[in-house]
Amino acid sequence: MDDQQMNPDPLAQLCAALNDADVRILHTGDQMAPALNDWRGRFRGAALAVLQPTSTAAVARAVRACAALGLQIVPQGGNTGLCGGATPGNGQTQVVLSLSRLNRVRNVDLMGSALTVEAGCILETVQQVADDAGKLFPLSLAAEGSAQIGGVLATNAGGTAVLKYGAARDLVLGLEVVLADGTVWNGLRSLRKDNTGYDLRHLFIGSEGTLGIITAAVLKMHPKPRAVMACLVALQTPRGALDLLTRITSDLGDRLTAFEVFDAHCMELTTRHHPDLRNPFADQHAWYALVEVSETSHLVPLEHMVESTLGVAIEEGCANDIVLATSEKQRADLWKLRESISESQKREGFTLKHDISVPIAAIPEFLDTAGRELAENCPGIQIGAFGHFGDGNIHFNMRPPATSENAEEREHAIAEVVYRVATALNGSFSAEHGVGQLKTGELERFKSPEEMALFWVMKAALDPQHRLNPGKVLAS
């Protein structure tokens, strides 16, 4: 049904159809404004209304009411996604369905190390609930104070501890999902083993709201570490980072929790935009690795092992210098340096962002080749590379110099170089940020026709009317 066919006052119709105490309807410009822009300020949309249900049953009723009125639904969590996935299009036929009021903790199962939470729970709250229970929910990212579990799962978010604990997908035992026709699928199982047919939860995780609306999840908790140590290592080259990673993995195994890397430009930017943060080294270095290790047993002498490993790394020449955090405050300060990079790039101004992954051993080659080609094609370009080196994931961000060239064309040409180099190394054009509305073209270009055809089969099976998040992931 298009605009003309709809009732001249579709909002009145929606309000009448959804006369529901459990669904708040926001419809004035001021009320809706925060939901119509993305975090980066890159996308701006319009919507008939923003719906805020407080229960799964209310989500299902809202979905059925929208379906009856021919409205499309854009699920939204904390709205921190980086690909415009939660921003509606420009017409008046879409509503934003915000999960923020569906935010109860339903169950904490200590014996089973499982946590059942609703989609609107803020990631940081979930971490705190696990912590209060003496456990760890390890998924952590710089937007954790705003990102919601539903959004985290819908984007299969990664973050800083993928190396040890995996991405969001690896932390989910069960899901509850409202389907495009309003059916509720209750898959809230906490079983560790269950080989009974297709594993539906993995269809919805990472589907960015295009196949169903996640309303609750059973999450895995892990043992809480008794000791956590972090250090910042100054490096000469990305190859040095690779050598350091090899040394640490060989000596400390899966005690390595995070191996994050950033370049000198990111260090300069972060300390300039956040005067409370400082570079702990007296000298400037080309690269820095933030390394964190943890141990759950009190029988393991972690401190001794870390000091000896780092000593060997210096002897072997893969590390220039090392600052080991000796207090919780120092550890937090080192993390702030890393976690403030995105925000600092935002403050610096418009930044081109590329979230690529390649096999870990190929990172130095990716950085060399892409950096060289960009310097040749776009003299004066300022690259700030950082990211989850231990997962093969680099946020390869940059600011081209001001020019009279068509900005959109140049942005496209730069992305083409980055994605071509990553793909040639068997990499991905989007490691953890997803596709949203930003990268639908790349998906079509870089996925095989067979894979794209399967994607469309899934969409047709679960959302034949394209009611859920149209134009996201799959360009309609």
Q: How many CA atoms lie within 13 A of 450 on its CB side?
A: 0
- Whose Cβ is closer to ligand FAD: residue 240's or residue 436's? 436
Instruction: Specify whether the CB–CB gap between 324 and 303 falls below 8 A.
Output: no
Residue 269 touches ligand FAD, criterion: CB under 6 A: no
Pairwise CA distance, residues 133 & 291, whole Å? 27
Q: What is the DSSP string of 240-281?
A: HHHHHHHHHHHHHGGGEEEEEEEEHHHHHHHHHH-TT---SS
Q: What is the CA radius of gyration of the chain?
A: 23
How is residue 219 annotated by DSSP?
Answer: E
Q: How near is the Cβ of 45 to ligand FAD at its closest, in Å?
A: 12
Residue 174 touches ligand FAD, criterion: CB under 6 A: no
Residue 208 touches ligand FAD, criterion: CB under 6 A: yes
Pairwise CA distance, residues 73 & 24, whole Å? 15
With contacts defined by CB under 6 A, name the span among 137-145, 262-270, 273-281, 356-364 that binds ligand FAD. 137-145
The secondary structure element, H or E, covering residue 410 is: helix 407-424
Residue 437 touches ligand FAD, criterion: CB under 6 A: no
Q: How near is the Cβ of 123 to ligand FAD at its closest, in Å?
A: 8
CA angle 391, 85, 425 (to 5 degrees): 35
| Interface map 30-49 toward ligand FAD (x if CB under 6 A) | ---------x----------
Count CB-CB contacts under 10 A for residue 30.
7
In the range 95-124, which residues lie near ligand FAD by CB under 6 A?
A: 99, 119
With contacts defined by CB under 6 A, name the span among 80-88, 194-202, 221-229, 404-412 that binds ligand FAD. 80-88
Between the alpha carbon of residue 457 and those of residues 46, 134, 400, 430, the distances in Å are 29, 43, 40, 22
Residue 81 touches ligand FAD, criterion: CB under 6 A: yes
Q: How near is the Cβ of 85 to ligand FAD at its closest, in Å?
A: 3
How is residue 15 annotated by DSSP?
Answer: H
In the range 339-358, which residues lie near ligand FAD by CB under 6 A?
A: 342-343
How is residue 98 annotated by DSSP?
Answer: E
Size of the site for ligand FAD (CB under 6 A): 38
324: helix, coil or strand?
strand
Binds ligand FAD by CB under 6 A, chosen from 36, 142, 229, 358: 142
With contacts defined by CB under 6 A, name the span among 2-10, 69-77, 288-296, 371-379 that binds ligand FAD. 69-77
Residue 75 touches ligand FAD, criterion: CB under 6 A: yes
How is residue 229 annotated by DSSP?
Answer: E
Instruction: Specify whether the CB–CB gap between 325 and 278 falls below 8 A.
Output: no
Residue 51 touches ligand FAD, criterion: CB under 6 A: no
CA angle 403, 265, 361 (to 5 degrees): 105
Pairwise CA distance, residues 430 & 83, whole Å? 10
With contacts defined by CB under 6 A, name the span among 73-81, 240-248, 286-294, 319-327 that binds ligand FAD. 73-81
- Whose Cβ is closer to ligand FAD: residue 309's or residue 440's? 440
The secondary structure element, H or E, covering residue 379 is: none
- Whose Cβ is closer to ligand FAD: residue 18's or residue 147's? 147
Q: How near is the Cβ of 335 to ligand FAD at its closest, in Å?
A: 12
Q: How near is the Cβ of 347 to ligand FAD at its closest, in Å?
A: 12
Binds ligand FAD by CB under 6 A, chosen from 23, 66, 117, 147: 147
- Whose Cβ is closer to ligand FAD: residue 53's or residue 371's? 53
Residue 85 touches ligand FAD, criterion: CB under 6 A: yes
Binds ligand FAD by CB under 6 A, chosen from 10, 53, 78, 384: 78
In the range 371-410, which residues lie near ligand FAD by CB under 6 A?
A: none
- Parallel/antiparallel/unpaired status of strands 105-109 and 114-118: antiparallel
Binds ligand FAD by CB under 6 A, chosen from 155, 357, 397, 440: 155
Residue 260 touches ligand FAD, criterion: CB under 6 A: no
Amino acid at 203: L
Exposed e or buried b per residue across 60-76, where buried means at least 16 C-beta atoms within 10 angstroms of its C-beta = bbbbbbbbebbbbbbbb
User: Shortest CA distance to 387 belongs to which of 141, 62, 153, 94?
Assistant: 141
With contacts defined by CB under 6 A, name the span among 195-203, 217-225, 265-273, 428-436 that binds ligand FAD. 428-436
Tokens standing for 237? 């080259």
Binds ligand FAD by CB under 6 A, chosen from 213, 219, 252, 258: 213
How is residue 400 annotated by DSSP?
Answer: P
What is the distance of C-alpha 127 from the center of its chain?
16
- Whose Cβ is closer to ligand FAD: residue 39's or residue 288's? 39
- Whose Cβ is closer to ligand FAD: residue 146's or residue 237's? 146
Question: Where along the sequence are the contacts to ligand FAD (CB under 6 A)?
Answer: 39, 74-82, 85-86, 99, 119, 141-143, 147-148, 150-152, 154-155, 157-159, 208-209, 213-214, 342-343, 432-433, 436, 469, 472
